Amino acid sequence: MDTLRKMKPEAKKKIKLIDYTKIRFSPEFEFELPAKTDADKLIERGKTLNGWKIKADYSLTNGVELSPKNSNHLYYNDDSLMQIKEVLALLRVYRAKALPSCGLHLHINVKNLSNKQILTIIKEWVARQKYVIKRFKVSKERLESTCKLLPKTEIHKLTEKTICNFRNNAMESIVNYSYLDQKYFSLNCSHLPINDYQTIEFRCFSGSANYREIKEAIYFILHFIQESLERE
């Protein structure tokens, strides 16, 4: 704080502070239900969850996927965290479990970010993805199938212009960056285009019904975005 007081006004203006509680996010939860549990009943029951949707997950035997509806803007605050608690409480009633193949996916809304900011986030993620995977103990099964590592060598060649073209649906411009349009990487960029969700999706976290684990993953990603943009 003393350092900030001593700085000249023009120097202070150059410090870009990001409030992580203002970053809009959307979690996706995957769960397997017991064989005798009717997934359709849970999906019907889920209609009572204000702002959330439940649908079948056909990658699982008797699975469901839960996520906020498009108009449900989640931020890191008491209201959003309480919504997640309510979702988990409903899942416990139906004895849902997160299998090793299940994931916790976190979409970050980047609609209002510049191409340079998005590029910075992607490159920061590539530099740290192995650390994150180790810290959060991502299963080998998921690393080999649904959340593969982004290619470090190729990402270094990525430019703001390529990001811009991709966001504006100039698909021919990403012929050498096919991973941008592929889903099953630790960071899924395929929803970036303006006619899509305009999000980046962090897919590497393992599924969990534990509120504290979910909260930790969300907090980690929001701070990761914050730190990336402040260094940009």
Q: Tens digits of per-residue pLDDT, 29-77?
A: 999 999 999 999 888 888 888 899 999 999 899 999 999 998 899 999 9
Longest Cα separation, the chain: 67
d(CA 154, CA 146): 19
Query: Hey, what's the torsion of the CAs at 169, 172, 175, 180, to 10 degrees?
Result: 0
Among 67-81, 88-102, 170-184, the minimum mean pLDDT is found in 170-184
Domain ranges of the chain: 19-231
pLDDT band, very low/low/confident/very high, at 3 (cuts 50, 70, 90): very low
CA atoms within 13 A on the CB side of 209: 18
**pLDDT score recorded for residue 17:** 85
Whole-structure pTM value: 0.89
Sequence letter at residue 17: L
Sequence letter at residue 132: V
**pLDDT score recorded for residue 16:** 72
Place of tokens 């900030």: 4
In the chain, the percentage of residues whose pLDDT exceeds 70 is 91
CA 40 vs. chain centroid, Å, equals 26
More confident residue, 43 or 8: 43
Are 186 and 203 in contact, with CB atoms under 8 Å apart?
yes
Are 202 and 106 in contact, with CB atoms under 8 Å apart?
yes
- Mean pLDDT of all residues in the chain? 89
d(CA 177, CA 163): 10
pLDDT band, very low/low/confident/very high, at 154 (cuts 50, 70, 90): confident
Given a cut of 90, whether residue 212 has pLDDT beyond it is yes
Q: List C-alpha distances in Å: 161 to 87, 124, 210.
A: 40, 18, 41
Tell me, what DSSP letter sits at residue 77? S
d(CA 211, CA 217): 10
pLDDT tens digits, one per residue of 97-135: 999 889 999 999 999 999 999 999 999 999 999 999 999
**pLDDT score recorded for residue 232:** 67
Was domain 19-231 assigned CATH 3.30.590?
Answer: yes
Given a cut of 50, whether residue 194 has pLDDT beyond it is yes
Sequence letter at residue 207: G
Q: Which helix (H) or strand (E) holds 207?
A: none
